[in-house]
Amino acid sequence: MRILLVHRYFWPDTPPYASMLRTIAEHLASEGHEVHVFTAQPSYGGSDKHETRPKNERLGEVTVTRARLLSERPSQLSRRAVNLVMFAAQVAVKAMRRREYDVVMAATTPPILVALAARLASHAAGAKFVYHMQDIYPEVLAANRHSRFTGRIRLLRWIDALTTRRADRIVVLSRDMKETLGMRHATENVRVINNFLPDKSHSKLSAPNQTKTRWKADSYQVVFAGNLGNFQGLDKVVAAFKVLSESRVAAHLVLLGSGVAELALREQADTLLDDVIFFPGRVTQSEAEMVVSSSDLALVTLNEGVIGTAFPSKTMTYLSCGTPVLAAVEPWSELGEVLISAGAGSACELSSTAIAKAIMELESAESIQTEVVTSLADSYASASSRLPQWSSLIGEL
């Protein structure tokens, strides 16, 4: 089959999906399919941070074509909006060109518009359309903001529902996301294929500068790695460590990364700053993995309701480091059940008391063996466990 994979960011761009999509493309090509990727120049985090790639290139048996967009920085909202429209338009032209593709797949970056353009163009050209939903927009926005569906959200949901309802296949990351789509329409066209850890041979890893991996001796180290934003509920985590400190539990928190909520979190930490709660700042992927590997517990947090619209893929990295995971999400979710049933961690509600209680229980319990955690990573987060599912999906089409 002739397959077109569409995504704004593709290798050697830095998001994990950029490398994961290359692995999927190479796998499908190895099975005899003719695989094309339509993307843009590397630009994640700002165009000025990346080297320009050829407009057309071959990566093994995969053909890559890159759209022409305006240079942009994260703060240039108008340019980003123009690029969204430009990319969607070029996707439509590419998908319809000479009616040469049997399958077109688009993901949710950028959200809604690109998938809509790809679906309309692919069906007009007689191709099957696959919608790879990393997040369910706009429901994820409403869940993160704890808001009801406004008129704008309802309109965006109606537009995206046109895409999901008429897609030949939809790929989501968990059964929770599938259930959320079930609130839109029947889910006979939905398949659950979670993400997997990118092939590290595709990554350009720099030499680590971060030599410190533990911030206090003889203290239980809990790490959170990622965006310190308003939608992670990290204020509940800081509050939990105030509870632990008052209870004289020997535990400390390392918040790796940066974000718009960092200043407020530092202020909330108050006297615990640089004693119980530490902010090392942004680090490279390899540096983050070193810290996670040296920690006693890794933390995932999602606002209530978000687990039905997204899956925290950082969980995969945590597990690959052999570090037990505490997921502050709905315990009945797929993520919560997987961690608990495998004995690789625990789950609790996103509240300061629940998080503090869970940390105390994990800290006082018999330690979880690294082998148990990495075994779950091999069975749940590896490419070898997911690529056969992609083969099966293409076989259905």
273 forms beta bridges with 277
What pLDDT, on a 0 to 100 scale, did the predictor assign at position 206?
Answer: 54
Q: What is the pLDDT of residue 145?
A: 75
Going by the DSSP 8-state scheme, the letter that residue 329 receives in this structure is S
* Burial bucket for residue 248 (CB in 10 Å: 0-12, 13-18, 19+): exposed
Contact 393, 193 (CB under 8 A): yes
Residues 218, 214: Cα–Cα separation, whole Å: 10
Q: Say what the pLDDT of residue 51 is.
A: 83
CA distances from 369 to 289, 322, 326, 341 (A): 18, 8, 15, 15
- Rounded Cα gap, residues 152 and 390, in angstroms: 34
* pLDDT tens readout for residues 95-111: 987 678 999 999 998 88
The 8-class DSSP code of residue 342 comes to H
pLDDT for 139: 92
Alpha-carbon radius of gyration of the chain: 21
C-alpha 267/C-alpha 288 separation (Å) is 24
CB 40 within 8 A of CB 8: yes
Confidence (pTM): 0.91
Q: Are 290 and 334 in contact (CB under 8 A)?
A: no
What three-state secondary structure class fits 157?
A: helix
Residue 93: which of 128, 54, 67, 72 has the closest Cα? 67
pLDDT at 142 (0 to 100): 85
Instruction: Tell me, yes or no, if the two domains 2-196+382-396 and 220-380 fold the same way.
Output: yes
Q: Can you give the pLDDT at residue 203? A: 59
Domain ranges of the chain: 2-196+382-396, 220-380
Q: What is the pLDDT of residues 122-140, one digit of tens each?
A: 999 999 999 999 999 999 9
Q: What is the pLDDT of residue 43?
A: 82
Query: What's the CATH class of domain 2-196+382-396?
Result: alpha beta
Is 220-380 CATH 3.40.50.2000?
A: yes
Report residues of the chain scoring pLDDT below 50.
none
Bridge-based pairing state of the strands 34-40 and 62-67: parallel
